[in-house]
């Protein structure tokens, strides 16, 4: 095929035309490339930001709303957050008989049984014996007792070194009718379960 067939009168005019076209392309590129690069950088930054936000989104706070088991009227709210390497548990439980009550994290987030037994035994990932939170040997979920005042209200303020939010979310706080003696096996002989609450991720307290 000859250039004449394409309507060009000569090789020269074609090369001039081509030269102009490529110059136009160069100008276009020069004008738009920085815009495109800037847009790409913005998108990239946004993407990176989103990924950071995702990584930072691993919740550091949790909540458990305690509801009474059948025949009881104990209820409460517990807030959990990490303070350094430790889990801080704060909150209030009411409707208790005055005195001490066993207070543990049990293995399962299953409240299907009316008496709370579906929550299973004490959360014990390391296969220890039952004990108090300060005993050398104890279940990770052993938090000792909470103490109700003469109005039946227990203010909870505990710190546990062995627990983290990801370990406990989906498990259950259990408050017992009786005192955890911190030594009887397998669970401190603290009697029936009077309130239960599954632990869930929570919005950080400061943001409320």
* Active site amino acids: 104, 106, 122, 130, 139, 142, 176, 193
Q: Three-state SS for 109?
A: coil
| Stretch in the footprint of Zn ion (CB under 5 A) among 60-68, 83-91, 115-123, 193-201 | 115-123
Q: Which does 174 bind (CB under 5 to 8 A by kind): Cu ion, Zn ion, none?
A: Cu ion
106 scored as a contact of Zn ion (CB under 5 A): no
Nearest to 156 by CA among 181, 140, 177, 175: 175
Please report how close the Cβ of residue 113 comes to Cu ion at its closest, in angstroms. 14
Nearest to 169 by CA among 56, 62, 88, 77: 62
Of residues 151 through 180, those in contact with Cu ion by CB under 5 A are 174
176 scored as a contact of Zn ion (CB under 5 A): no
Counting residues that bind Cu ion (by CB under 5 A) gives 2
Distances (CA, A) of 37 to 31, 32, 40, 44, 183: 11, 8, 5, 10, 67
Distances (CA, A) of 188 to 43, 122, 126, 145, 178: 57, 10, 18, 10, 10
142 scored as a contact of Zn ion (CB under 5 A): yes
| Stretch in the footprint of Zn ion (CB under 5 A) among 107-115, 122-130, 153-161, 197-205 | 122-130
């Amino acid at each position: 095929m000859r250039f004449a067939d394409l309507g060009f009168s000569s090789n020269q005019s074609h090369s001039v035309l081509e030269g102009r076209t490529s110059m136009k392309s160069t100008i276009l590129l020069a004008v738009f490339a920085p815009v495109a690069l800037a847009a790409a950088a913005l998108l990239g930054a946004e993407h990176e930001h989103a990924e950071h936000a995702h990584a930072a989104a691993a919740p550091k706070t949790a909540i458990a709303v305690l509801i009474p088991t059948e025949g009881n009227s104990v209820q409460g709210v517990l807030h959990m957050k990490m303070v350094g390497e430790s889990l801080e548990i704060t909150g209030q439980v009411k409707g208790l008989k005055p005195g001490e009550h066993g207070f543990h994290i049990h293995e399962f987030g299953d409240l299907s049984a009316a008496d709370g037994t579906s929550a299973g035994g004490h959360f014990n990932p390391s296969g220890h014996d039952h004990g108090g939170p300060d005993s050398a040997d104890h279940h990770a979920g052993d938090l000792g007792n909470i103490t109700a005042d003469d109005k039946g209200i227990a203010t909870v303020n505990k710190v546990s070194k062995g627990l983290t939010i990801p370990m406990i979310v989906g498990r259950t706080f259990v408050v017992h009718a009786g005192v955890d003696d911190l030594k009887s096996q397998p669970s401190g002989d603290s009697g029936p379960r009077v309130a239960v609450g599954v632990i869930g991720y929570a919005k950080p307290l400061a943001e409320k």
